[in-house]
Amino acid sequence: MTNNADPFSLDIRRFGPCAADVLSGDASGSVVGVFRRCFYVHLDDSYICMGNTDFSDGPINVVTSAPHTTDWQASGLTSGAPARLSNHRLRLGPHLTFSLNRARIWRPARPGIAPVSARSLTTLRRFFAASPPVAGLAPQVFGAPVAALPQAEHPLRALSLWLAQNLTAHPDHQQEPPVEKLLGLGPGLTPSGDDFLAGVLITLAALGETRARLHLAGAIRTHAPAATNPISAQHLYAATAGLGGAAIHDLFAALQTDNPDSQRAALKNLVAVGHTSGWDALAGLYRTLNIWQSARQNEIIAA
């Protein structure tokens, strides 16, 4: 594909910081899931997600030199194919190899969103009203009359209460974050509850709410292994460090501007991720930002 002498020899062009750690030394494992545009590889105790030249950047994502037209499901690569990493080269199955010699690390910019939080909330509400989804957690979080996942009502309320208690000047760090019933909630490779929690974690990082993020991260790391699937857990572990896909970080950057077109474009890119993953992450962002803004207003009134 990129090597005329060997069409099965490709380059890794970029990888996220978590993927970079996984690919930093020798390891072995297997391919665990093959989709049209990407596939997952399990190496030792971690997972990476590999895709074509137009694949999106993210903490566990690996962008390769495979042409954007590559269909991995039709390529012959199958789940269970052995994976071996050595000498800066990843071999999958008997023929396919990826060189790491020219790879560079993608790292997201981390703009704070505190200065524009009030305007941000209005922007997010208007976007939801203009094109409301019918699945996932976003309808409940944004106040739609019909809930797609009614079983999420109580877990969402419990986590919202915890956030309200821990985003104040005098947080309650004694109570464990109530995450068990959100983890693994909903269908799909990354369930809605997991994507929502990822949005919460990444927003806490953007707001500089380190104590709340670390407390929430600890609970997620404790319960995720038993509550959700390992690939979704890998995405969540990245989010505990404030790391998400490029789309959510691009949205934070757009919310720093006064450019409605940039904000709409960033929102559209985020909600296009997965079936409902982008919307669910946006719901986590919105709920966290809303609670954080209310806490700041209450502090001003109290002063």
| pLDDT (0 to 100) of residue 218 | 98
Q: Which two tokens stand for residue 245?
A: 């896909």
**pLDDT over 60 (residue 303):** no
- At 174 the pLDDT is 74
- Written as six digits, the tokens of 267 are 């929102």
Delimit the domains of the chain by residue range. Answer: 9-105, 114-302
Q: What is the pLDDT of residues 198-229, one digit of tens each?
A: 999 999 999 999 999 999 999 999 999 999 99
Q: Distance between CA atoms of 289 and 117, rounded to whole angstroms? A: 7
pLDDT, position 119: 81
pLDDT for the residue numbered 116: 65
Within 13 Å and on the Cβ side, how many CA atoms surround 191? 17
Would you say residue 114 has pLDDT above 70? no
Task: Write down the pLDDT at residue 4.
Answer: 44
Rounded Cα–Cα distance for residues 56 and 76 (Å) = 23
Task: Return the percentage of the chain with pLDDT > 90, whole number.
Answer: 81
User: What is the tens place of the pLDDT at every residue in 233-285?
Assistant: 999 999 999 999 999 999 999 998 888 999 999 999 999 999 999 999 999 99
Query: For 144-153, how does the pLDDT look when each residue is reduced to its tens digit (9 = 90+)?
Result: 877 789 999 9
Rounded distance, CA 12 to CA 65, Å?
Answer: 6
Tens of pLDDT, residue by residue over 177-198, are 999 999 999 988 999 999 999 9
Has residue 232 got a pLDDT over 60?
Answer: yes
Range 94-107 burial, b when 16+ CB lie within 10 A, else e = eebbbbbeebeebe
Name the band, by pLDDT with cuts 50, 70 and 90, for residue 112: low
CB 245 within 8 A of CB 61: yes
Q: What is the pTM of this model?
A: 0.93
Minimum mean pLDDT among 97-106, 133-142, 168-177: which range?
168-177
Which pLDDT value is given to residue 1? 45
What CA–CA distance (Å, rounded) separates 60 from 15? 7
**Interval 278-300 mean pLDDT:** 91
Query: In this structure, what DSSP letter does residue 281 have?
Result: H
CATH T-level assignment (fold) for domain 9-105? OB fold (Dihydrolipoamide Acetyltransferase, E2P) (2.40.50)
- What's the pLDDT band for 297 if we cut at 50, 70, 90? confident
Q: Is pLDDT at 5 greater than 70 in this prediction?
A: no
In sequence order, which residues have a C-beta less than 8 Å from that of residue 194 and are 6 or more positions away?
Answer: 182, 183, 184, 185, 228, 232, 233, 235, 236
The winner for highest mean pLDDT among 113-117, 131-135, 145-149, 153-157 is 153-157
Q: What is the pLDDT of residue 301?
A: 66
Residue 250: what pLDDT?
A: 96
Q: How far apart are CA 254 and CA 199, in angstroms?
A: 16
pLDDT higher than 80, residue 13: yes
pLDDT > 60? residue 141: yes
Mean pLDDT of the chain: 92
